[in-house]
Amino acid sequence: MTIDKIVDKYVPRERQRRFLYLSFPAWMIVSYGVLLGAFTSKSVIEDLGMSGSLAAAFLKSSVFIGMLVGAFLSGFIADVFGRKMAMNVYLLFATLFTFLSGFTADAKLFITMRILAGFGYGGLMPSVNTYLSETISIRIRGMYLVLLESMWAIGSILVGLVHITLGQTTWRWDYWMMGIGFALFIGFLIVPESPRFAFLKGGKKALEEVLRKEVKEEVEDLKKVKIPISELLKGEYMKRTLVIWLVWFSLSIIYYGIFLWLPKIFASKGLLEHSMWMTFLMMVFQLPGYLLAAYLIEKMGRVRSLSLFLFGTAAASLGFALVSNQPLYITMAFLTSIFCLGAWGIVYAYTPELYPTACRTTGNGAAGTVTRIGDMIAPYIIPMFKGNVIASLVFFSILALISGIAVAVLRFETKGSEIS
């Protein structure tokens, strides 16, 4: 019997739901921490004596430097020390250094703290993503992973709520609130190891210890072959790797290029007084995108649903750039949020299904590394276009269109398939 069928038979659905619920706060922590820059950068720059649009871009991109390193090492840490260990290490970095950022009074120290927190954000997502994908039934895997990704919207809504309430007194409260995240260690410390990882490292005995049940069936061996990142660009993996890297890179550029500059974007359309509230509403409209993606990913499959959301992002961001009627402009802004975040949800579910167990975390980590490169570039896109918001949004639209075409051409469908 395959390990997927073992998980389906021996891991009760209620236990799978508990794993999903435990993963939710981790995603919210990353979202909250990364998007702090969208709301606090202006106050931090003024308080710590920084100045200029490039300073703002560097401040916003510093967290992504840490995320790049964290994502790059996530495959090694999770594949060698286990999914559980990886999740706890990255959670520590994410929560502790975000919390400590609220106490800094020096610009260099603040940026250092953001880089260290970014290390935690960058590794926590692929580690949790891999853990959940290896612990749930193939019949609900896609839906569960998109629901996990939907927690990004909840985290972004929370950072907006904290900022427009406590954050109005001082930006430091936005960072101090991350201290609540320490409570997640209780769950992460007692959670069992991934069944697939346990079987891969310790065989049937280790698998039974994780499942807390005797497995009567013979379990098919998993190949203990370590596939380096270079192998992802060869043979059967090359096309799917290049396409998924393009999608991750493009979505990163689009999302952070837009969302980290939302107050400026709305101000350019005469909505300066309402820019923070409009930014908050954009965060809110991420949630229906995820929920729609969670429904369509199992109805339409990965390829068709991802293509749909990428093409939708292209059309909406083009409208966001070109329309002048204010109600229609706001509608296009919200549609950009819905389609872009729906695409994010699907690509998070799709990526781990492209690779076998032996290199799944490596594949996830490599894709995450490509994403982090896009993250670091994204805050500089609008300054690169000399503050021209229209040109920037048209550029984002073109990226989404190219990515959608690439996915449609690849046509590598994984819906309902076992992950080897």
Res 178: pLDDT: 95
Cβ pair 157, 284 in contact under 8 A: yes
Q: What is the pLDDT of residues 53-78, one digit of tens each?
A: 677 778 888 998 999 899 888 888 98
The two structure tokens encoding residue 81 = 């020390």
Q: Does residue 229 contact residue 242 with C-beta atoms inside 8 Å?
A: no
Of 383 and 309, more confident: 309
Whole-model pTM: value is 0.79
The whole-number average pLDDT for the span 270-283 is: 80
* 3-410: in CATH 1.10.3720.10: no
Read off the pLDDT of each residue in 250-273 and give the average, rounded to a whole number: 86
pLDDT in tens, 261-270: 887 888 887 7
Phi and psi of 100, rounded to 5°? Answer: -70, -25
Residue 356 has pLDDT above 80, yes or no: no
Q: Which residue has 């805050």 as its token pair? A: 379
The C-alpha angle 153, 15, 121, rounded to 5 degrees, equals 35
Write the pLDDT tens digit of every residue in 306-342.
999 999 999 999 999 998 888 898 899 999 999 999 9
Considering only CA atoms, which of 252, 265, 230 is closest in space to residue 359?
230
The encoded tokens of residue 207 equal: 């698998």
Q: For tokens 């999914």, what's the residue?
A: 83
pLDDT value at position 406?
95
Q: What is the pLDDT of residue 391?
A: 95
Could you tell me the residue ranges of all domains in the chain?
A: 3-410
Is pLDDT above 70 for 52?
A: no
Using a pLDDT cut of 70, give the percent of the chain over it.
95
Q: For 382-407, what is the mean pLDDT?
A: 94
Q: What pLDDT was estimated at residue 256?
A: 92
- Asked if residue 351 has pLDDT above 90, the reply is no
pLDDT of residue 250: 97
Mean pLDDT, all residues of the chain: 87
